[in-house]
Chains A and B, each alone.
Chain A
Amino acid sequence: MPIIEVANLVKTYDDVNVVDGVSFSVEEGEIFGIVGPNGAGKTTTVECVEGLRRPNGGSIQVLGLDPIRDRYEVTQRLGAQLQESRLQDKIKVGEALELYASFYRDPADWHELLDRLGLQDKVGSKYAKLSGGQKQRLAIALALVGSPEIAILDELTTGLDPQARRSTWDTIEEIRAAGVTVVLVTHFMEEAERLCDRIMVIDHGRVVALDSPSGLIRKIGSEQRLTFRPSEPIDDAVFANLPEVTTIGHSGSHVVITGTGNVVQAVTALLAGLGVVAEELRVEQTSLEDAYLELTSGAGDPDGTEPGAT
């Protein structure tokens, strides 16, 4: 049974459907990513799941409960980190955790949580003195201090430097390893690809795709590009006979071939048959970033009418 089940969710502001019929379910133990351009409805969707907003339509079940009607029970079992939420400047890290721990019937050991998040030296530091990465790790600690079954993390790594971002990713993987289901809202595809089991792409309040990262890439019809330096000169025409190959070009002494399907195997088998070695072989695949840009209107092509035009 899914741990979160959302069906036909609609949320309207000023007569505009910010979320317009979103359906998805999150399975226990997975890291579920929600990605999409700014204003796509990501945050509104998770805020409905958290019970912060009352939907205008559709249904939401969290652990079999209604986030509005069963608010108390849901908040006991779901931890949230909100976008653009901070603490009092002068509250100390340890005080904040002790305070939040007292809200829950079965709190985690917050000292251990601080150790796990590398904040043990900061227990007496005031919030205002923490770096951006430390504030985000404290936000994670507060989301986990109630020993939740689900953690919803919204734009967790926005504004962090690459090193802090990577260490936050490790933390998220540890959270999942500890048995917590994670819902991750992000607009970094690299982050979604690295962490998520499944990704939901939303745009203009609608789901445009929901699949594993590799499934999303496949859906675009992945084109691959091979670059190599043949060990001896070779006629382009031999590649033209391969059905998988779409273009053949040159870049200096390198041959550049693009194609679909099993183009890599086809080309390397052909070369092997000819006794030619492909030196400095590089294969580039369509990235999730490419897939994302095609799926959403964020590719500088507002209507999304020409997928793959670039």
Chain B
Amino acid sequence: MSATMNIVRTEARLFARDPIALFFGLVFPGLLLLLLGLFFPGFDEPSADLGGDRYIDVYAPIVLALGLATLGLVTLPPILGTYRQFGILRRLRTTPVHPARLLWAQLAVHVGVAVAAAAIAILIAVVVFDVPFPESPVWFAISFLLAAASTFSIGLLVGAVARTTVSAQAIGMAIYFPMLFFAGVWIPRSIMSDGLRTVSDFTPLGSSVQALADSWYGSTPSATNLAVMVAYAVVVGFIAVRVFRWE
């Protein structure tokens, strides 16, 4: 087996051996949607607050974004911080394999888990709560991958500069909660004030939620939302790669 495939397989195994990461990264988005839908009164009925939409329809794309943020900002940065702190990246530099391959393997594993987590959440939404299957599947897939790219590039930047596991955790969390706020986890975007929603549009997760919601319910995502995600992915990703410290 090639070195790259071996690294991806090893990193996937290590991820699977971390029960907390597995729970919050893989299971939590779908579980949250299920619990909200089952136990929050009126969650799966049309709501006057949302202009006749159901909360469950609004929250389905939100939990997908939440899952991406958890993987990108809570699980990814401490792994990179640990790999630097333990000298794992340095050790790799003495082998014929460049340690960058370990980073790409981590990103690949995180994308894989993110897709699986989204599949679980979509399945619950569709089967349990009669949410339609994403109606513009191609735009939905594009939106999801751009959402992952923009969120993970921020996590990569945190992991690029944090010297230790603990500092990577702290910085990741400090970005995680504001991002969730702008994603509409506490106040859905449709009932945000105009000003707040404009700010939200310029955060990666705010744009992600809007693009996911638009494509889920049959529209084409707005150019603004797509451009914001691309910009974060490219600019932040580029900076992360440039400033990445191997030791």
Given known pairs A82-B90, A84-B87, A102-B2, the reply for A91 and B10 (CB within 8 Å) is: yes
Partner of A102, one of B6, B14, B83, B87: B6
Q: Which residues of chain A from 50 to 101 have any CB-CB distance to chain B below 8 Å in the complex?
A: 50-52, 72, 75-76, 78-80, 82, 84-88, 90-91, 95, 98-100
B18 within 8 Å of A (CB atoms): yes
A148 to chain B, nearest CB (A): 10
Asked whether A88 lies within 8 Å of B14 as measured between CB atoms, the reply is yes
Asked whether B88 lies within 8 Å of A87 as measured between CB atoms, the reply is yes
Instruction: Enumerate chain A residues within 8 angstroms of B22, measured Cβ to Cβ.
Output: none
In the bound complex, what is the Cα–Cα distance between A33 and B84 (angstroms)? 28
In the bound complex, what is the Cα–Cα distance between A142 and B17 (angstroms)? 22
What is the interface of chain B mostly: helix, strand, loop, or mixed?
helix
Asked whether A102 lies within 8 Å of B94 as measured between CB atoms, the reply is no
Partner of A98, one of B6, B90, B94: B6
In the bound complex, what is the Cα–Cα distance between A95 and B95 (angstroms)? 16
In the bound complex, what is the Cα–Cα distance between A91 and B10 (angstroms)? 8
In the bound complex, what is the Cα–Cα distance between A72 and B95 (angstroms)? 8
A146 within 8 Å of B (CB atoms): yes
Q: Which residues of chain B from 93 to 129 have any CB-CB distance to chain A below 8 Å in the complex?
A: 93-97
A77 to chain B, nearest CB (A): 10
Of all chain A residues, the one with the shortest Cβ separation from B87 is A85
B133 within 8 Å of A (CB atoms): no
A104 within 8 Å of B (CB atoms): yes
Q: Which residues of chain A from 119 to 170 have any CB-CB distance to chain B below 8 Å in the complex?
A: 142, 146
Instruction: Enumerate chain A residues within 8 angstroms of B87, measured Cβ to Cβ.
Output: 82, 84-86
A103 within 8 Å of B (CB atoms): yes
Given known pairs A75-B94, A82-B94, A91-B10, the reply for A103 and B88 (CB within 8 Å) is: no
Instruction: Enumerate chain A residues within 8 angstroms of B86, measured Cβ to Cβ.
Output: 85-88
Instruction: Enumerate chain A residues within 8 angstroms of B10, measured Cβ to Cβ.
Output: 91, 95, 99
Of all chain A residues, the one with the shortest Cβ separation from B16 is A90
Instruction: Enumerate chain B residues within 8 angstroms of A76, measured Cβ to Cβ.
Output: 96
What is the interface of chain A mostly: helix, strand, loop, or mixed?
loop
- A207-220 Cβ-contact flags toward B at 8 Å (1 or 0): 00000000000000
Given known pairs A102-B2, A102-B3, A103-B3, the reply for A90 and B14 (CB within 8 Å) is: yes
In the bound complex, what is the Cα–Cα distance between A87 and B86 (angstroms)? 7
Asked whether B95 lies within 8 Å of A75 as measured between CB atoms, the reply is yes
Of all chain A residues, the one with the shortest Cβ separation from B83 is A88
Asked whether A85 lies within 8 Å of B14 as measured between CB atoms, the reply is no
B1 within 8 Å of A (CB atoms): yes
Of all chain B residues, the one with the shortest Cβ separation from A101 is B6
In the bound complex, what is the Cα–Cα distance between A76 and B96 (angstroms)? 6
Asked whether A102 lies within 8 Å of B1 as measured between CB atoms, the reply is yes
- B1-26 Cβ-contact flags toward A at 8 Å (1 or 0): 11100110010011001100000000
B90 to chain A, nearest CB (A): 6
Asked whether B91 lies within 8 Å of A82 as measured between CB atoms, the reply is yes
B81 to chain A, nearest CB (A): 13
Instruction: Enumerate chain A residues within 8 angstroms of B91, measured Cβ to Cβ.
Output: 80, 82, 85, 87, 142
Q: List 7 A-B contacts (CB under 8 A).
A: A75-B96, A90-B17, A91-B14, A102-B3, A103-B3, A103-B97, A146-B96
Inter-chain pairs besides A78-B94, A88-B88, A102-B3, 9 sampled, C-beta below 8 Å: A52-B90, A79-B94, A82-B91, A84-B87, A85-B91, A88-B86, A98-B6, A102-B2, A104-B95
Residues on B facing A (Cβ under 8 Å): 1-3, 6-7, 10, 13-14, 17-18, 82-83, 86-88, 90-91, 93-97
CB-based closest 10 A-B pairs: A85-B87, A80-B94, A102-B6, A90-B17, A103-B97, A85-B91, A75-B96, A86-B86, A103-B95, A102-B3
